[in-house]
């Protein structure tokens, strides 16, 4: 076990220190028996990077990471928080193709993730309007030199009323 300099001080109370350490150990929560974070991506390279980063951060025991399309994947739990970074047409895809994807993503979330909270990261202020849900929050962020927003949605089934 590691020792600290203060343990050599004349007034140090060894038994009190041991009790304090034991109380801290007793309060540590055991790892959940099932994952509490579910991650997916269509691209195998992104899945591999996610697995490597989770292992490096020592959180892989709490995660289920798989290759899947967000438009087809069922919700892994009855409620939760979904975080998505869909393409927004600046680097990866053409804008028309990306614009067509946003309503599909919104429909898929409403069909499969009703009751969840969804956070959507986008570098385009028009694309999230096609999502079909009203954002409760819009947080300005930067992705390098790209001004972005993090949008928060309460996912409900059905259509957005005008």
Residue of higher predicted confidence among 31 and 52: 52
Residue 46 sits in the same domain as residue 101 = no
Share of the chain above pLDDT 70, in %: 91
Task: Give residue-wise pLDDT tens across range 83-118.
Answer: 888 887 665 557 788 888 899 999 999 999 999 999
The total domain count for the chain is: 2
Residue 78 sits in the same domain as residue 108 = yes
In a domain, 6, yes or no: no
Residue of higher predicted confidence among 73 and 32: 73
Structure tokens at 65: 């990471």
In a domain, 98, yes or no: yes
At 83, give phi and psi (nearest 5°).
-120, 125
Range of the domain at 103: 69-162
Specify the pLDDT at position 119.
93
Specify the pLDDT at position 159.
64
Task: Give residue-wise pLDDT tens across range 12-25.
Answer: 999 999 999 998 88
The DSSP annotation for 125-158 comes to SSGGGGGSS-EEEEEEEEETTEEEEEEEEE--SS
Share of the chain above pLDDT 90, in %: 47
Q: How far apart are the first and last CA of the chain?
A: 63
Summarize the confidence of residues 66-80 as an average pLDDT. 86
In a domain, 46, yes or no: yes
Task: Give residue-wise pLDDT tens across range 25-38.
Answer: 888 776 666 777 88
Positive/negative CA dihedral, 30, 38, 87, 100: negative
């Amino acid at each position: 076990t590691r020792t600290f300099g203060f343990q050599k001080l004349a007034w140090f109370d060894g038994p009190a220190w041991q009790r304090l350490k034991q109380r801290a150990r007793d309060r540590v929560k055991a790892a959940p028996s099932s994952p509490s974070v579910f991650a997916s991506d269509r691209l195998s390279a992104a899945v591999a990077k996610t697995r490597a980063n989770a292992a490096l951060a020592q959180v892989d025991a709490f995660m289920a990471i798989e290759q899947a399309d967000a438009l087809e994947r069922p919700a892994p739990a009855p409620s939760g928080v979904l975080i998505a970074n869909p393409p927004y047409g600046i680097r990866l895809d053409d804008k028309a193709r990306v614009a067509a994807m946003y309503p599909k993503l919104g429909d898929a979330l409403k069909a499969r993730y009703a009751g969840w909270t969804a956070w959507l990261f986008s570098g385009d202020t028009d694309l999230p309007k096609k999502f079909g849900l009203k954002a409760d929050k819009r947080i300005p962020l930067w992705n390098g030199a790209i001004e972005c927003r993090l949008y928060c949605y309460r996912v409900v089934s059905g259509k957005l009323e005008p």
